[in-house]
Amino acid sequence: MITIKNAKEIELMREAGKVVATLYDYIEEIIKPGMTTYELDQLAEAKMRELGATPAEKGYDIGVKGVPPYPASLCVSINDEVIHGVPSKHKIIKEGDIVSVDTVALKNGFNGDAARTFVVGKVSKEAQRLIDVTTQAFFEGLKYCRAGFRVGDISHAVGQYVESQGYSVVREFQGHGIGRDMHEDPGIPNYGKAGRGARLEPGMTICVEPMVIQGKPDILELDDGWTIITEDGSLAAHYENTILITKDEPEILTMTKKDKQKYKVK
């Protein structure tokens, strides 16, 4: 069921979103070669709690036998890891890596969710282009995050743009509604036909999150039950924000200072 948030709930969503945005500005400052993904996770969790929120991903249980609850506050996915990379003391971030981070902050009963792909030191032109296309795919979808459009309009815009740039979208995972629960209706795939799916209404809060692969769209799941990698070993990138549907322009609730400046978003 799709939930429509009232004015008070929207304000609480804004607070949760602000935590996530602040956290990503912090990660941008501290991520560096030589640190482990576990260290990054520990620093981020401390920062999130300092901001008055708790990590909603930590302890998240998908209810599949043999798959333990998620053990960390961040998903940290490096290079050919698409999503859900589990932080580890043995996984070291290196110069030239691209690192996708996905996190959800729970504050006052509401969730804020976003993802970013960070560059570590100097990366290849190909890697930077992948990140740029992934980010732009989000903004292509954002054009249709307005009352009256349908979910399929967002999906179509994202997928069409990514494929026009020679890349692939992940089809097995998708964006989603968000609010009191981390994942709510509607599901928002990164591909599809325009004019299909639920119609957007003011008060809806959704996450649009292109997951883009440099090569073929095929993916594999590692034995930890969480980490998803590209089958062909090609790079992957991820970009996501929590969005409020209004009567007018969509409002991005998780926009970082850096991205506000770069993409001229309020």
CA–CA dist 104, 33 (Å, integer): 24
- Domain map (residue ranges) of the chain: 7-257
> What's the CA dihedral at 55, 266, 97, 130 to 10 degrees?
120
With beta carbons less than 8 A apart as the criterion, state whether 133 and 212 touch.
yes
Per DSSP bridges, beta strands 219-221 and 75-78 are: unpaired
Report the sign of the C-alpha dihedral through residues 9, 203, 134, 131, in that order: negative
Closest CA to 17 of 119, 95, 80, 108: 108
Type of residue found at 177: G
pLDDT, position 261: 87
Angle, in degrees to the nearest 10, between helices 151-164 and 125-142:
160
pLDDT at 266: 63
Place of tokens 């790079």: 235
**67-106, pLDDT tens digit by residue?**
999 999 999 999 999 999 999 999 999 999 999 999 999 9
**Domain covering 7-257: architecture:** Alpha-Beta Complex (3.90)
Using DSSP bridges, classify how beta strands 81-83 and 228-230 pair: parallel, antiparallel or unpaired: antiparallel
Q: What stretches in the chain show pLDDT beneath 50?
A: none
Strand partners of residue 229: 81, 220
Q: In terms of pTM, does the model score above 0.85?
A: yes
Residue type at 169 in one-letter notation: V
